[in-house]
Amino acid sequence: MNSTFSWNEGSLDAAIDQGAKGLSEGGVPVGSALEIAGVLVGLGHNRRVQDGDPIAHGEMSCIRNAGRQRSYRFATLYTTLAPCAMCAGTIVQFGIPRVVVGEDETFPGEIQFMRDRGVLVTVVDDPRCKNLMRAFQREYPDVWAEDIGES
């Protein structure tokens, strides 16, 4: 089931730009954008390869870059790929109520986990997101397996 709400295409575009930036740096092409009350407060992309940081996934980097927030009650997190267990846990932990996912075909992530905990998740099935991940998975299968803990 796809829960829906009004979301900002420009914020998804920003997340996609972040994913492309990560790929251009030789990293995993997952990008994210955090919007609070309609204001873009943070951007990030997966930096595991670039920084040698095992938890620097796109969503984690974005939330870190947004800095300390008093509340996430009016937040929407945009991400190019379905969040993994670690990122989904962070979303739930901080009470981010809405997540827009670019695609969940190349990696299903933990969408049901988030929904089961009250997060409204919309999967938009964006071909740009799929193309980024498919190219990366094809060219760097070992790095991808490492990123999702399957190496």
| Residue 89 burial by Cβ neighbours in a 10 Å radius (0-12, 13-18, 19+) | middle
Q: Which of 35, 59, 103, 110 is catalytic?
A: 59
Q: Is 59 known to be catalytic?
A: yes
* Cβ-contact 20, 81 below 8 angstroms: no
Overall pTM surpassing 0.75 (yes/no): yes
> Rounded CA gap, 59 and 81, in Å?
10
The list of the chain residues with pLDDT below 70 reads 1-4
pLDDT of residue 2: 52
